[in-house]
Amino acid sequence: MHRLEFQVITLFLAISFARTNPIVCREPAQLPPLITDVLNESIAILPGQEGMILRGLNSVEDSFVDITRENISNHRNTETRSCSVKSTCPWHFVKNVDPNRRPKTIIEAQCSFSCCKRSARTCCDLNNAPGCTRCQPIYYYVHVLRRTGCDVTTRRYTYENKLEKITAGCTCIRNPNIFRPPFPTMPS
């Protein structure tokens, strides 16, 4: 048998074996240190910065992002005196759970309504007129360790530091008035 034929047959058997015996990964003995970079977390809230800061999360394979949200009922933060209930855009708290992330569970807010309380008549869900209002999440960013793959030689998961967007609360916003005349300009 020629050497090339032997290599092709060996490669074919290796691929067949890999398909029938997928690599099983385990957690690493030690996770990389979690970066706590408050500057990057705060810069991420600036307009236009979010995409630049969060582009790393887009590089994570979809199979390693498995976020589910579970309502937290009868929690002390949902009492009637809380600002989350008294707000024009009330919110409640949920557990943001992802087994592919460390920490696995993060508590975040979720808007309870899409329409602002005081202006339900002008809600953007009912009409999309200029000046209509709607509830909008307010975000902040936290550093997490995100599972990004599996090292085939060590059969251990790999983790990377990533920034994730978390909802802190909700606020009432108004659509811009498209019929408002533009700012006056000086004649040239």
Q: Give pLDDT tens digits for 123-138.
A: 877 667 777 888 999 9
- The chain-wide mean pLDDT, for the chain, equals 75
The answer as to whether 163 is a domain residue is yes
- Looking at this protein, which amino acid is placed at residue 187? P
Per-residue pLDDT tens for 89-148?
Answer: 999 999 999 999 999 999 999 999 888 887 667 787 766 777 788 899 998 888 899 999
The answer as to whether 26 is a domain residue is no
Pairing of strands 68-71, 91-97: antiparallel
Q: Which domain holds residue 109?
A: 32-174
Is there a contact between 26 and 149 (Cβ–Cβ < 8 Å)?
no
Q: pTM, whole model, 2 decimals?
A: 0.64
CATH code of residue 127: 2.10.90.10
The answer as to whether 188 is a domain residue is no
- Looking at this protein, which amino acid is placed at residue 91? W
Pairing of strands 133-151, 156-174: antiparallel
Domain count within the chain = 1
